[in-house]
Amino acid sequence: MKALLYKDLIQLFASPLAWILLAIEQFVLAWIFLLQLDQFQAVQTRIGLNPNQAVIQPLYLNAALILLFIVPLLGMLGFSLERRNGALDLLLSSPASPTALVFGRFIALLAWLLPAILLCLAMATSLALGAAIDLPRLFAGAFALLLCAALYAALTIWLSTLGDQPLATAAAAIGAILLLWLIGDSRAAGGVFSWLGIEAHFTRLAAGDLNAGDLGYFLALGCGALLAATFQLQRSRET
Amino acid sequence: MSFIAAEGQPSVTPSDPPMTPLLSARDLHRSYPGQQALAGVSLSLQRGDILGLLGRNGAGKSTTLRLLAGVLRPDRGHVQLNGESLHMRHATRARIGFLPERPPLYPELRVDEYLRFAARLRGVPRPRLRQAVDDIIERCGLGARRKRLCGQLSKGYRQRVGIAQAAVHDPDVLLLDEPGNGLDPVQNQDIRALLKELATSRAIVLSSHVLPDIEALCNRVLLLRQGRVVFESRLPLANGERHLLLQTADADSASIGAIDGIASVSVQAPGCFALTLADEATPAAVVRALCRAGIAIHSLCPAGNRLEQLFAETDDNA
């Protein structure tokens, strides 16, 4: 697991794509953050909004939406590219189990996303310089963002085990995650579909309402995707 | 050295003691959708063996190597390394090194980073990691390129790095798919020398279309056609005017060796013997002596370019 983790981190740090995506994410988030801060300053005295609700929660929501595109673009370089250039044979001929390979890759992707989440957290924490913010809710929101990024990463890794076209992997992952955002929002949604939607779970967690149901949602879907990826890698020995 | 005939019947030469094979594959079957890739391939290797897999495109060479490396599971049959199943225990794979047809390089990694990754992946413990990488870099002549990005290497060096990643953990068995693929003659010579050096302490299986490579490197050859073994023999196949290849069904090496004019005899394959003539003997005299001894000669020919002939013959006959 460590071998793939170190290798992926070296590759991500050496990849211009990863740095460009990180820069774009931070630029867009900073822009949105400043706009919301501006609006907050304009209305706070009239309607008495607190900065957690007015700035930080929307910042996390926007970050989750931007990561929706960034994680698949980073994750597409995983198993699908390796299948394409023959490097998957190197992994499958090693003593590492498919589980170790999948988790090594997952942790590497998450480790790369961690600075993006921490920068977002730093941005939100900077509000404390001029306003009274609820710190536990601030950190709970960052944790929700981490869970969301982890779910994206798990889904992307699973989809990358299914084919050998990195761009198709990225497109499929973006599509799948978008569907999860939209599905819970649909008027027709109910029951399972409503539960499957990310938005409600994420919004509650980002607001600082840590509850087992929402945590379970991210864990169930994330672990499910990683198990599916493990199964698919194992299956690729048979097909 | 154990020896498995094309039909799967083991035939051990009289001088070889029975040994547990280092790598053995029995009755390997593998199919892809709409295609039977392998149909009953068996082989057995000891340390020091270099087995060449020959065959046309689609004959099953790469599939055989991928099965031996544990990349694919056989539909039927099994692969064992020192008696342990390759597909049951992941850890067993740490004793195998595999170079796929295309060297599995990561263009963004430097050569030493890549080899460190390959060593870690194959379970080299952290304290030995640096030494293992330094050793293989030196053995493979990569010292001047160790800080180069893999994506910037020439084809010859990519191939060297590919071989280095397969051997970095000092495996018992090296599986090399077309190691001389696309190399110029000088690079090819270098790779041959490298493989000979690596072969001293392990078993190697390599596939190639290049018959001179097989003849230069291997001490055994196995010819595949449509997923089946159609010929297996030791190398070198006898060469030159003093060497003949005899095919007969009703004699053994001892009775042939007793014939006047024959200095030595070795079994190439079941019913196929390489004869070395005594200094004073002529082929005609040996033929007469064989006939006098009642040995039915199915064919007797000079042994020169035998591998090429066999490749062509088996391809025509199969």
CATH of the domain at B255: 3.30.70.100
Q: Domain check: are B153 and B266 in the same one?
A: no
Lowest mean pLDDT of A85-94, B179-188, B238-247, name the range.
B238-247
Residue B318 lies in a domain: no
Q: Domain check: are B58 and B187 in the same one?
A: yes
Domain with residue B75: its CATH number is 3.40.50.300
> Closest partner residue to B90 among A11, A82, A97, by Cβ?
A97
Residue B60 lies in a domain: yes
Domain count, chain A: 1
pLDDT given at position A28: 93
Query: Could you tell me which residues come within 8 angstroms of residue B96 by beta carbon, excluding any fewer than 6 positions away?
Result: A93, B68, B69, B70, B81, B86, B171, B172, B173, B174, B175
- The sheet carrying B262-269 orders its strands as B262-269, B272-277, B243-247, B299-302
Find the chain B residues whose C-beta atoms sit closer than 8 A to any C-beta of A.
66, 69-73, 90-94, 96, 98, 100-106, 108-109, 113, 117-118, 120-123, 165
DSSP string, B109-138: SBHHHHHHHHHHHTT--HHHHHHHHHHHHH
Q: Contact at 8 Å (CB) between A152 and A173?
A: yes
Q: How many CB atoms lie within 10 A of CB B111?
A: 28
Final residue in a domain of this structure, among B234, B255, B279: B234
pLDDT given at position A86: 87
Half-sphere CA count of B184, side-chain side, radius 13 A? 5
Would the pLDDT of B316 be above 70? no
Interhelix angle A212-235/A98-125, rounded to 10 degrees, is 140
Query: What integer is the mean pLDDT of B102-119?
Result: 93
Half-sphere CA count of A84, side-chain side, radius 13 A? 16
Residue B145 lies in a domain: yes
Q: Domain check: are B194 and B170 in the same one?
A: yes
Q: Does an H or E element contain B30, and which?
A: strand B23-32
Q: Contact at 8 Å (CB) between A218 and A195?
A: no
Residue A237 contacts B where some CB pair is shorter than 8 Å: yes
> Closest partner residue to B71 among A11, A15, A89, by Cβ?
A89
Dihedrals phi, psi of B70, to nearest 5 degrees = 85, 5
Residue B101 lies in a domain: yes
Most confident of A230-239, B97-106, B230-239: B97-106
pLDDT level of residue B181 (50, 70, 90 thresholds): confident
Half-sphere CA count of B168, side-chain side, radius 13 A? 34
C-alpha triplet A96, B71, B83: angle, nearest 5°: 80
pLDDT given at position B12: 40
Closest residue, chain B, to A87 (C-alpha): B104
pLDDT given at position B7: 38
Q: How many CB atoms lie within 10 A of CB A34?
A: 12
- Residues B197-215 have pLDDT tens digits of 888 888 999 998 777 788 8
- Residues A130-140 have pLDDT tens digits of 788 888 889 99
Sign of CA dihedral B17, B1, B78, B94: positive
Distance CA A90, CA A69 (A): 29
C-alpha triplet B43, B45, B50: angle, nearest 5°: 105
Q: Give the β-pairing of B96-99 and B173-177.
A: parallel
Q: Domain check: are B196 and B274 in the same one?
A: no
pLDDT given at position A48: 65
Distances (CA, A) of B185 to A208, B158, B191, B207: 68, 16, 10, 18
pLDDT level of residue B2 (50, 70, 90 thresholds): very low
Most confident of A44-48, A82-86, B35-39, B111-115: B111-115
- 3-class DSSP state of A154: helix
Distance CA A190, CA A213 (A): 16
Alpha helices (runs of H) in A49-165, residue ranges in sequence order: 51, 57-75, 79-85, 87-92, 98-125, 135-160
Q: How many CB atoms lie within 10 A of CB B215?
A: 18
Length of chain B: 318
Query: What integer is the mean pLDDT of B83-100?
Result: 85
pLDDT given at position A30: 92
Long-range contacts of A37-43 (CB under 8 A, 24+ apart): A37/A127
Give the minimum alpha-carbon distance from A4 to chain B in angstroms, rounded to a whole number.
7
Long-range contacts of B4-11 (CB under 8 A, 24+ apart): B4/B42, B4/B43, B4/B44, B4/B232, B5/B232, B5/B269, B5/B270, B6/B229, B6/B230, B6/B231, B6/B232, B6/B269, B6/B270, B7/B270, B8/B40, B8/B42, B9/B270, B10/B44, B11/B267, B11/B270
Mutate to test the interface with B, among A81, A93, A102, A234 (most CBs of B within 10 A): A93
Residue B283 lies in a domain: yes
Half-sphere CA count of A26, side-chain side, radius 13 A? 16
Length of chain A: 239
Distance CA B91, CA B192 (A): 30
High-pLDDT (> 90) share of chain B, %: 31
Distance CA B227, CA B212 (A): 23
Domain count, chain B: 2
Q: Domain check: are B206 and B109 in the same one?
A: yes
Q: Which residues in A lie closer than 8 A to residue B91 (C-beta atoms)?
A: 95
**Which of B75, B111, B73 lies closest to A92 in space, CA to CA?**
B73
Q: Domain check: are B133 and B96 in the same one?
A: yes
Contact A95 B123 (CB under 8 A): yes
Q: Contact at 8 Å (CB) between B103 and B159?
A: yes
Q: Which residue has the higher pLDDT, B226 or A186?
A: B226
Give the minimum alpha-carbon distance from A233 to chain B in angstroms, rounded to a whole number.
10
Give the minimum alpha-carbon distance from A107 to chain B in angstroms, rounded to a whole number.
16
- pLDDT tens digits, chain A, 239 residues: what are they? 788 888 888 888 888 888 999 999 999 999 999 998 888 887 776 666 778 888 888 899 999 999 999 999 998 888 999 998 889 999 999 998 999 999 999 999 999 999 999 999 999 898 888 788 888 889 999 999 999 999 999 999 999 999 889 999 999 999 999 999 988 766 665 677 788 889 889 999 988 888 999 999 999 999 999 999 999 998 887 76
Q: Domain check: are B225 and B99 in the same one?
A: yes
Across B47-169, the runs of DSSP E, i.e. the strands, are 50-54, 76-81, 84-85, 96-99
Structure tokens belonging to residue B69:
């490396």
Residues of the domain holding A112: 2-235
- Residues B257-306 have pLDDT tens digits of 888 888 888 887 778 888 888 877 888 888 888 888 888 888 887 765 56
Residue A45 contacts B where some CB pair is shorter than 8 Å: no
Q: Contact at 8 Å (CB) between B202 and B173?
A: yes
Distance CA B72, CA B30 (A): 9
Residues of the domain holding B267: 243-302
Q: Does an H or E element contain A18, and which?
A: helix A16-47
Distance CA A216, CA A193 (A): 16
Would the pLDDT of B171 be above 80? yes
pLDDT level of residue B9 (50, 70, 90 thresholds): very low
pLDDT given at position B11: 39
Q: Domain check: are B225 and B248 in the same one?
A: no
Q: Domain check: are B84 and B218 in the same one?
A: yes
Q: Domain check: are B87 and B140 in the same one?
A: yes
Q: Which residues in A lie closer than 8 A to residue B101 (C-beta atoms)?
A: 86
pLDDT given at position B13: 43
pLDDT given at position B303: 67
Q: Domain check: are B226 and B206 in the same one?
A: yes
pLDDT given at position B237: 56
Final residue in a domain of this structure, among B234, B260, B285: B234
Distance CA B181, CA B206 (A): 11
Structure tokens belonging to residue B7:
């039909």
Q: Domain check: are B112 and B32 in the same one?
A: yes
Distance CA B164, CA B167 (A): 5
Dihedrals phi, psi of B252, to nearest 5 degrees = -115, 175
Q: Does an H or E element contain B231, and which?
A: strand B228-234
